[in-house]
Amino acid sequence: MFICEVEELTVRYAAARGRRAVDGVSFTLGAGEILGVSGPSGCGKSTLALALIGLLPREAHVSGAIRLRGRDLRACSEREHAAIRGAHVGIIFQESALALNPLRTVGAQIADVAFAHARCDRQSARDRALATMADVGLGGDLDRIYDSYPHELSGGQRQRVLIAQAIVNNPAVVIADEPTASLDAAVRDDVLDRMRTLSARQGTSFILITHSADVLASTAHRVIDMRDGRIVSADSPHRVAPRPTAAVSFASIGASAPSLEISGAQKSHAQRRLFSTQHVVKALDGVTLRLERGRTLGLTGPSGCGKSTLARCLAGLDTLDAGEIRIEGHVVTTQRRTRQLHRNRVQLIFQDSAAALNPRFTVHEAIVEPMVVQRAGTTAERRRRAIELLHQVGLPQDALTSRPGELSGGERQRVAIARALATHPRVLILDEAFSGLDVETRQRIIGVLQGLQATDGLAYLCISHDIDLLAELTSEIALMRDGRIVDRPAEAYAGSMRVSA
Amino acid sequence: MTRAKVIIGGLVALHALILLAGFAAPYDPTRQTRTMPFAPPARVHVFDASGRFHVTPFVYATVSDASGATYSEDTSAQFPVRLLTHGAPYTLFPGVTTDIHLFGVDEPGRIALFGTDGYGRDVFSRVLYGARVSVTAGLLATLCALLVGTALGTLAGFCDGIVDRLVMRAADVFMAVPWLYLLFAVRAALPLHLDTRAAFLMLIAVLGIVGWARPSRLVRGIVLSAKERAYVQAAEGFGAPPLYVLRRHVVPQTYGVLLTQAGLLVPQFILAEVTLSFLGLGVGEPEASLGSMLGTLQQYHVLASYWWMFAPAVALVAVATAYHALTSLGHERARLVAS
Amino acid sequence: MRFVLSRLGHSVLVLLLVSVLTFALIELSPGEFFDDLRVDAQIGSTTVETLRQQSGLNQAPLARYAAWMQSIARGDFGVSLAHRAPVGSLLWERARNTLLLTVPATVVCWMVALPLGLWLARHRGRWTDRIFTTASSTLVSLPDILVALLLLLVALRSGVFPTGGMLSPGAESLDPMARMRDLATHAFLPFCALLLVLLPPVIRHVRASAIEAIEAPAVRAARGHGIGGWHLTTRYILPLSANPLISLAGLSCAALVSASVLIEVVMSWPGLGPLLVESLLAKDVHVVLGASMLATMFLVTGNLLADLTLYAVDPRVRS
């Protein structure tokens, strides 16, 4: 018998004029099975999760059947639902910073879940919470972590707390909504490992919602793809997204000067605290890198290692305390003219494309902004160039009149790239530019970038904590830690990652 | 019709009525009729004494009895209510004088919809004129406070460092005194008795001085966060000068907050003007002013016997309700956008 | 500790600057207390000058401010020119009467608004919520002058309540119980007026904060784990909605001396309100100064207490 059955589940919001967030979804879930649910953003994955657990807002109209161990969940009252949630169905929410009460210690929050269902007293709830904390790998001083507040923990620790909350009562089913997004590779691996262990040893079923192909490939037994609220391909054995062929060959290698070179870079941040001594944080401690013309260099490292500071200094948005930057052999000085030239030559693509574009600007205004500011060309010439740039990134001309809010994440990122190209850069620095994008969009953007590299000899410095993504783009990956480059290439680091079966 | 349209339509209609007070009011607000003090509101009839129905509503003349203590209707003559009548001349705009009023009755009939006050002046006209003073004062004062607040807030947020600290310290000081006390203190700094025009301008200046601090705080917050946005950094990366960034990226972010603040400040300032006039510190006789009209209610005999003297409250409540509805609409919209 | 000291220092600085501001404002004002006397032909100019010298009005502004600050340090708030009494004791007596109204009203207001606001938030969108929100919107639109006038009308018409003042004439000769009752009947209508003015905004804020807390991701997550009922309300919703409410409570402290000003004027309650208005009209400088400083002290103290409470309650502020 199946642990969970879903039949023709449909969720409609009255306000959205009948558009169905979830449209006739049906699937089954067996004991100990890990079911992956993937799809682009907006396909209805999260709505599905909320529907399964009965937490949809009042305005949502639900039809169809959800059965847990044969029991019809849709017929349950709110009180019955509350008894099921946390005890028979656990849920791991997406944003750990938001899903935890900032005013309560994490241990108390785990114990709350135990206390709400297990009819035990406070002390046993605490013991149970501590045991579960150990199970999820919150190592170290458990008592201290129990009494910590969410903001005092790292992202990885918080994510483990969310998992502990979900499994503390040994539920039959756990719904995990993007449980490993924004986690370091090592932490992510560990979390997935524990999931697999739980499913194998205790027969816990998982519904794993993610858009990461690698997570699905490594952990899910079965995957269903969703798009626009519907299942488009179900019950397929783990499907791995097609990998592109190796990085495209580049125009001319040889004796030309490297596009970008940085040597001996030093930079410190002073953190001002009220009434106390200044904390000096060394963000860059002697960084040396070379980026050849027409090539792609990957850069990865744990959070806080200085990647973003390096990106900003390379793009000319911040100045180094010591060290030298050369662009195509020319040394960059701090004079204003050369600084602007520097910034034009090395452009930075930000992580959050929505934040990188002014929501009130049209695409046209955003792309021509560099030209406007630098007073290059007439209005007609700028428009022509804007169309040309859109063409280069594969967007149609009528996108000119759209606003960022009307575009998808991938389209926005391409607009940001088009804007960056307006200044004829030699180097593009992509700082976590692919996070939050689904596989398809990523592939499309990578295609655009590789095309530009082939025709114009652009060089890319690609920064990401996702080493698999970097591996798709290039074989040269540098590892950064505590403000220093410690390893390149990164085969040694990659060894700790499991490879898809 | 959606709720938003009703609210905005209502607000616009209300403001039109008030700002065109000269047109909407049937009488000159300062015209006294000493023989008819505290006359009750004129009753508009459609059925006459013999029970006949008239299509055009009409009023009877109000006469007082021998002692002058009570009023009654003289049913001998009917005065139909006419639209777009000729009446006392007034200035519609500077330079444009006209004598057409929205409605009225022929002399010697009088249509005092809200009765008359102690000097026999038409309360309805006085309410409209008084509302015009109060609403205009409120709007202009809000504009003043928001301009000053935005300028200083942008300065503080953009320049940072010591400028920021100075401006914020000044804002702290102005916000540290409870609003009413600050109003009184600033009012005290100005001459007690002023002529009408001076009093009006003084009011606006006082309210502007009292009200700049909170908007400046909010604008500063927005400027600070806008500075950190990626698109501002990108623009700086293209070499955009600070003024360009301010003009194109930062200041437009403040529009939302400024609108909400306006929605909150306008009724508050209108009330402030009414308060000052009520205490005799604002616009005074013989000009019509909602506050001074309400002030007469402090006399017990007026309060007990002449209920129509509460009429200014109608105008006040109407305006305040309209603005509160606008503000909550704004909040709802903001919540929808955020979710 | 450091936090406490820094907030305290900030408060003192603000008080100082406010004193300068108020003093400057009074200085700017044209006209003096003795202007009326000057106009009177019967009073000689030398007499006026002597009176001015006695009151210290002939000194330079800076000297007067310095003298005033010095006397403040000694605890002497100057002398009221109109009442011929020390400002300190005058303010104290009037402030006591004001607090007699505002403290009970504020306490009752919060006692009613907290549970009511929470209940409304829980039932948001339902018809009970809609009725209450419409009612409170209407109440908010009524200026406090109007509320006071309406209640005064009730007093006049019903004859049950006195129409003004704090005690009936000759009340001092009554025994304590009767005097209390007399005070209570006089205070009842102003108390009601004040309550009607204070309640709507506080209920609105409590409701809004509670709604924000209920819709917060953390609360949804807690519900997702099956935490509900009393536990959810006390451990999750209330603490999360407390932050803006603590700031509001701090402002309530300031309202203790400012909310009832107009009500007192209309209903002839001998509190700070009528004193302030009289002194304003008479240009009785020291009283206006003293009253403003007192009001500022309440506001600054309220904010300080709110900041300290936030520090104690919110771990994010502590780090």
Kindly report the average pLDDT of chain C as a whole number: 83
* Cβ atoms of A68 and A152 closer than 8 Å: no
Please name the amino acid found at residue A136: V
Amino acid (1-letter code) at residue A446: I
Cα B304 to Cα B63, C144, C152, C154, distances in angstroms: 22, 19, 9, 9
Position C192 scores a pLDDT of 92
How far is Cα B46 from Cα B25, in angstroms, rounded to an integer?
A: 22
- State the Cα–Cα distance between residues C1 and C9, nearest whole angstrom: 12
Token reading at C237: 């919703």
Cα distance from C304 to chain A (closest Cα, Å)?
A: 18
State which residue of chain A sits closest to B250, comparing Cα positions. Answer: A358
- Strand A427-431 to strand A459-463: parallel, antiparallel, or no bridges (unpaired)? parallel
Closest C-alpha among B186, B185, B187 to residue C291 = B185
Q: Do C292 and B180 touch (CB under 8 A)?
A: no
Q: Which chain C residues are Cβ-neighbours of A100 within 8 angstroms?
A: 218, 221
Residue B43's pLDDT is 82
Q: What is the band of A139 on the pLDDT scale with cuts at 50, 70, 90? A: confident
The yes-or-no verdict on residue B1 having pLDDT over 60 is no
Contacts of A90 in chain C (CB under 8 A): 225
Where residue A137 falls (left for φ over 0; alpha for ψ -120 to 50; beta otherwise) is: left
CA distances from A390 to A386, A404, A422 (A): 6, 14, 10
Q: Cα(B77)–Cα(B72) distance, rounded to whole angstroms?
A: 13
Tens digits of residue pLDDT in A156-187: 888 889 999 999 988 999 999 888 876 777 78
pTM of the predicted protein model: 0.77
Predicted confidence (pLDDT) at residue A494 exceeds the cutoff of 50:
no
Cβ separation C14–B181 shorter than 8 A? no
Write out pLDDT tens, residues A187-230.
888 888 888 888 888 888 999 998 777 888 888 888 888 888 88
Q: Around A224, how many Cα atoms within 13 Å sit in the side-chain half-sphere?
A: 24
Which residues of chain C does B187 touch, with a Cβ-Cβ cutoff of 8 Å? Answer: 280
C224–A91 C-beta distance less than 8 A: yes
Task: Report, in angstroms and rounded to the nearest whole number, the Rg of chain A calculated over CA atoms.
Answer: 25
- Chain A: residue nearest C313 by CA? A103
A111 pLDDT higher than 90: yes
Among the listed ranges A86-90, B78-82, C115-119, which one has the minimum average pLDDT value?
Answer: B78-82
Chain A contacts of B231, Cβ < 8 Å?
Answer: 355-358, 361, 366
| 3-state DSSP assignment of residue B64 | strand
Chain-chain contact of C6 with A275 (C-beta, under 8 angstroms): yes
Asked if B278 is an interface residue toward chain C (Cβ–Cβ < 8 A), one would say yes
Q: What is the distance between the terminal CA atoms of chain C, rounded to a whole angstrom?
A: 13
- Checking if the pLDDT of A411 tops 70, the result is yes
The single-letter code of the amino acid at A35 is L
Query: In whole angstroms, what is the distance from residue A23 CA to residue A47 CA?
Result: 11
3-state DSSP assignment of residue A162: helix
Residue C135 CA neighbour count, 13 Å, CB half: 10
Collect all residues of chain B within an 8 Å Cβ-Cβ radius of residue C257.
178
CB contact under 8 A, C223 and A85: yes
Distance CA A163, CA A174 (A): 9
Q: Is the pLDDT of residue A251 over 50?
A: no
Q: Are A373 and B237 inside 8 Å of each other by CB?
A: no
Longest dimension (CA), chain A: 75
User: Which H helix or E strand runs over C222?
Assistant: helix C217-224
Closest Cα of chain B to C262: distance in Å? Answer: 8
Reading the block at residue B94, the tokens are: 């500077």
DSSP tag of B175: H
d(CA B103, CA B26): 6
- Dihedral (Cα; A280, A281, A284, A286), 10-degree rounding: 60
User: Which residues of B are less than 8 Å from A340 in CB distance?
Assistant: 239
Confidence of residue A81 (pLDDT cuts 50, 70, 90): confident
Give per-residue pLDDT as tens, C237-255. 888 888 888 888 888 888 8
3-state per-residue secondary structure call for A30-71? CCCCEEEEECCCCCCHHHHHHHHHCCCCCCEEEEEEEEECCE
Question: Of all helices (H) and strands (E), which one includes residue A173?
Answer: strand A173-177
Residue B298 to chain A, least CA–CA distance (Å)? 51
- The phi, psi pair for A319, rounded to 5°, reads -105, 150
Residue in A closest to C243 by C-alpha = A103
Taking only the tens place, the pLDDT of each residue in B17-57 is 888 888 888 888 888 888 878 888 888 888 877 888 888 88
Q: Does A367 touch chain B (CB under 8 A)?
A: no
Query: What does the longest C-alpha to C-alpha distance in chain C come to?
Result: 86
DSSP state of B293: H
* CB nearest to A343's CB, from B239, B241, B248: B239
Digit-coded pLDDT (tens) for B129-178: 899 888 988 899 999 999 999 999 999 988 878 899 889 988 988 888 88
Q: Do A166 and C225 touch (CB under 8 A)?
A: yes
User: How close C184 comes to chain B (CA, Å)?
Assistant: 22
φ/ψ of A413, rounded to 5, equals: -65, -35
Q: What are phi and psi of A9, to 5 degrees?
A: -75, 125
- Cβ of A352 under 8 Å from any chain B Cβ? yes
A319 touches chain B (CB under 8 A): no
Half-sphere exposure of A297 (CA within 13 A, CB side): 23
% of chain B exceeding 90 in pLDDT: 7
pLDDT digits (tens, 9 = 90+) for C132-183: 888 887 888 888 888 989 888 888 888 778 777 777 777 677 788 888 888 8
The b/e string for C142-172 (b: 16+ C-beta within 10 A; e otherwise) is bbbbbbbbbbbbebeeeeebbbbebbeeeee
Which among B9, B20, B104, B90 is positioned nearest to B58, based on CA atoms? B104
Q: How far is B85 from chain C (nearest CA, A)?
A: 34
Contact present, C114 and C249 (Cβ < 8 Å): no
Where is A323: in which H helix or E strand?
A: strand A322-327
User: Would the pLDDT of A254 be above 50?
Assistant: no
Q: What are phi and psi of C189, to 5 degrees?
A: -65, -45
Q: Cα separation of C214 and C203, whole Å?
A: 16
The CA distances from residue A347 to A197, B64, B176, in Å, are 45, 87, 47
Instruction: Please report which confidence band the pLDDT of residue C193 belongs to, taking 50, 70 and 90 as the band edges.
Output: very high
Extract long-range pairs of B190-194: CB within 8 Å, 24+ residues apart.
B190/C28, B190/C29, B190/C30, B191/C29, B191/C30, B191/C31, B192/B281, B192/C31, B192/C281, B192/C283, B193/B284
C-alpha span between B37 and B33 (Å, rounded): 7
Per-chain mean pLDDT for chain A = 81
To the nearest whole angstrom, how far is the Cα of A476 from the nearest Cα of chain C? 40
> Residue range B250-266: average pLDDT?
86
Query: How many residues are listed for chain B in this entry?
Result: 339
DSSP helix/strand/coil, A95: coil
* Contact flag B237-A352 (C-beta cutoff 8 Å): no
The distance of C132 to chain B (nearest Cα, Å) reads 14
The CA-atom distances, in angstroms, between A122 and each of A126, A163, A426, C233, C298 are 6, 20, 62, 18, 42
Helix (H) or strand (E) holding B75: strand B71-80
Q: What is the pLDDT of residue A253?
A: 38
DSSP class of residue B308?
G
Which residues, in sequence order, are bridge partners of residue C124? none
- Residues 6 or more apart whose CB falls under 8 angstroms from that of B33 comprise B110, B116, B119, B120, B121
Run of H or E including A349: strand A346-349
Nearest-by-Cβ selection for C29 from B173, B188, B278: B188
Is A360's CB within 8 Å of B230's CB?
Answer: no
Query: Length of chain C in residues, anyone?
Result: 319
Q: Quick check: helix, strand or coil at residue A125?
A: helix
Higher-pLDDT residue of A266, B217: B217
Please, what's the b/e burial string for A11-31 (b: 16 or more CB within 10 A of its CB; e: otherwise)? bbbeeeeeebbbbebebbbeb
CA distances from C221 to A86, A100, A166, B40, B312 (A): 10, 7, 10, 63, 51
Which residues from chain C sit within 8 angstroms of residue A95, using beta carbons?
A: 217
Q: CB pairs below 8 Å between A and B: how many?
A: 48
Q: Please determine, for residue C109, whether its predicted confidence score (pLDDT) is greater than 90.
A: yes
- The whole-number average pLDDT for the span A375-394 is 88
**Nearest residue of A to residue B229 by CA position?**
A355
Provide the pLDDT for residue A271: 57
d(CA C52, CA C71): 18
Q: Do C163 and B294 count as a contact with CB atoms less than 8 A apart?
A: no
- pLDDT band per the 50, 70, 90 thresholds, residue B68: low
Which are the contacts of B319, defined by CB distance < 8 A and separation ≥ 6? Answer: B14, B18, B131, B134, B135, B267, B270
Tokens 């039932």, residue?
C123
CA distance A128 to A111: 7
Hey, how many other C-beta atoms are within 10 angstroms of the C-beta on A254?
6
d(CA B240, CA B231) in angstroms, rounded, equals: 11
Q: Which residues, in sequence order, are CB contacts of C193 under 8 Å at separation 6+?
A: C144, C147, C148, C151, C263, C267
Tell me how close the Cα of B54 comes to any Cα of chain C, in angstroms.
Answer: 37
Beta bridge partners of A177: A209
**Closest Cα partner for B157 from B245, B223, B217?**
B223
C35-94 residue pLDDT tens: 656 666 666 677 767 766 666 666 677 777 777 777 766 767 667 777 778 888 888 889
